[in-house]
Amino acid sequence: MLTLRCVFGSSAKFLVSFPALKHNTRLQNSMSGSLHPLAAVCQVTATPDKEANFSACKQLVEEAKQQGASMVFLPEGFDYIGSSREETLALSESLAGDTISRYTQLARKLELWLSLGGFHERGHDWEADRRIYNSHVIINDRGDIVSVYRKSHLFDVELPEKGVSLKESAFTIPGPSLVAPVQTPIGKVGLGICYDLRFPELSVALQRHGAEILTYPSAFTVATGAAHWEVLLRARAIETQCFVLAAAQVGRHHEKRSSYGHALAVDPWGEVLGDCGEEKPGLVLVEVDLGKVRSTRRNMPVQQHRRDDAFYRSLPQT
């Protein structure tokens, strides 16, 4: 069984309803002696202030470690969210820069894994074109960078009636490829970022390459989040029969931008296990039982029933 809670600062609130306090006490005791690894899915409010952002994320990571997590997931833009194209580019760094160095040191000190869900990485031709990647960086408990996925679907969307206007491609380079799922203490994790969530081909490809957990660190707009966030995350979990862990930005970043929040954990059946809400930073602590992945796939053998790729391309051209 999976158990979890949402933690705001030093206080904790259980997200699963129980009729009596004694159940909460038993659940808390089971968390500290869990038979399965724990993952912490974080919710933050990044601003253009990189130092304040690092301090807030560090506090959440330390809280997660104290609660027994072996891997912590931070959202897209964990390093900062700029108020203009110029500021966004000026604040960017390489993977060898100070921000990632501080997180590798933190991972090594606390002996836990980190998913850094959307780092503003300077492109390989930075001096020539001043463009960046939106990069998902995985750091192991020794402080090594073990995988980097660069966001492949860029958010170029105009929804005037919803007040949404973003053109990520104006300064961001699309990633060249997917990366193989990463073996971590909680299972094999397949990497996406935010807008990638809307492309089921990506999640199915990761599942076919062994993913047991999908992660979509995000900074969803308030309008698109209210309409689509939960239903898309549940759909990706159901179709791949994976856990889905989605760290999120929440609240007002600056005068031009706010995010939806609701950092979410979903199980392979599509059940929402926990939700950090829309008000403030915090984390969801999740016990990941990979037996749920195996039993769901065994009892509902969708992957065995899938036809070969040629079948799905067999419709005549119109």
- Catalytic positions are 76, 151, 194
Six-digit token string for 34: 């869990």
- Residue 244 near residue 213, CB atoms below 8 Å: yes
- Residue 286 near residue 274, CB atoms below 8 Å: yes
Number of Cβ atoms within 10 Å of the Cβ of 115: 27
Residues 6+ apart with CB under 8 A from 161: none
Six-digit token string for 235: 């759909």
